[in-house]
Structure formats: C-alpha cells, structure tokens
Amino acid sequence: MPQAAHRSSVNAPDYTSSPSVERLYCDHHDWLHDWLRHRLGNAADAADLAHDAFVRLIVKPAPRGFASFGEARGYLRAMAQGMCVNLWHRREIEQAWLDTLSAHAQPYAPSAEHQVIVLQALQEIGAMLLDLPAKAGRAFLLATVCKMSDKEVAQELGVSTRMVRKYVAQAMLRCMQLQARQALAERHG
C-alpha cells in the first residue's frame, strides 16, 4: 500500500457504521478544541464549547449519523460555529446591559439578583429572536424597540404592512410562550 494512502487511512478512521459519541470524542475533540480556540482566541471558552458540542451529540444525536470522518468534522464545525454565534450574542447582550447600568447614577443601580434576572430574560429573548426568521425578529425589534409604525417597518424590510403584522404577531406569540414556560417553572420550581 502506498505510504500516503496508509497515512490518510490511519488519520481518518473508517466510518462505515455510525460511530458512537465516545469514538467521535476520541477522534475529534482535540481538533474541535483547537478550531474553537483559534476562532474564539480563548482556551477556556473553547474548552467549554467543545464540551457542550459533545453533550449536544449525546442529548440529540445527528439524525443520519456520519458516513465519513470528514462528514463528522463538518457537522461538528457547523454546530460549533452556531455555538460561537450564540456565545457572542450573549456577550453582546450582557455588555449592552452593563453599559445601560453604568449610564445610571449609583443610587438607581438594581441589586445583583435583579441584574441576573434581567440578564437571563434578555438572553432568553435574544435566543427567541434568533430562532425566528430574520425578518420576523427584525420587524419585532423595529416595531417594539424603535417604535416604528407598520408602514415604516414594511418600507425598511421591503414587505407589506400585512406581513409586518404577521411577523410581529409571530414574535409576540413566542414571547407569550416564553412567559408561560417561565410561569410554569416558577410554580413547579
């Protein structure tokens, strides 16, 4: 067997049957951690996200499994990229909240407990908005935060006012579902 072919078969295990999470971890963890460390510029965040990626595979396995070593890496890279975006989004929300707090005079600063509650709520709303189609999330923000009229939002997004109302209603429904889940959790928690 030519040496180059032998080396690639040693580096890329045969995935003729869908590998276990343990095998995926052994084959890809170090690579994923290095990829995340390079992407995030922080070894601690990279370790956390690499760990979370494999926990996700345990909780929710890939629907079709993996036919090849490269397919497994592609899936892990795509998942990790989404996790990076979520991390950056959470940090932007936290920074915006800290900036808002620092703009207020000290006597008006909320308690540490209240700050945590507000940050969690902002992160949940941010995650909810990211789960919506992009135009729906943007329409909701423009209408509620920027106080734009349906007509103004429609012009901004290049859609009809009817579509704006549909987008805002979709986001409001998600907000109400989020609120209902929180109320249930408080009752049962």
How does pLDDT run across 49-75, given as a tens digit for each residue? 999 998 888 888 887 778 888 888 999
Higher pLDDT, 189 or 176: 176
- Better-predicted residue by pLDDT, 13 or 115: 115
82 and 142 in a single domain? The answer is no
Inside any domain, residue 117: no
Q: Of 39, 72, 92, at which residue does a domain stop?
A: 92
Of residues 17 and 10, more confidently modeled: 17
Q: Rounded mean pLDDT of 159-180? A: 89
* Other beta carbons less than 10 A from residue 75's beta carbon: 18
Residue 2 lies in a domain: no
Q: Which residues contact 79 (CB under 8 A, 6 or more apart)?
A: 53, 56
Read off the pLDDT of residues 111-156 as tens digits, 9 standing for 90 and up.
888 878 888 888 888 888 888 888 998 898 888 877 889 999 999 8
Last residue of a domain, one of 38, 62, 92: 92
Report, as an integer, the average pLDDT of 11-18: 62
Instruction: Identify the domain containing residue 60 by its residue range.
Output: 12-92
Q: How many domains does the chain have?
A: 2
Same domain, 154 and 88: no
Q: Does any domain span residue 77?
A: yes
Note whether residue 108 is domain-resident: no
Q: Which of the listed residues 92, 123, 146 is the one where a domain comes to its end?
A: 92
Do 174 and 131 contact (CB within 8 A), yes or no?
Answer: yes
Q: Flag whether 115 is in a domain.
A: no
**What confidence score (pLDDT) does residue 166 get?**
94
Domain identity same for 28 and 80: yes
Residue 9 pLDDT: 40
Residue 32 lies inside a defined structural domain of this protein: yes
Compute the Cα dihedral for 4, 5, 6, 12 and give only its sign. positive
We report the CATH number of the domain holding residue 59 as 1.10.1740
Domain assignment present for 64? yes
**What's the pLDDT score for residue 162?**
95
User: Beta-carbon neighbour count of residue 187 at 10 Å?
Assistant: 7
CATH number at residue 153: 1.10.10
Please check whether residue 22 lies inside any domain of the structure.
yes
Going 169 to 128 to 153 to 176, the CA torsion angle's sign is positive
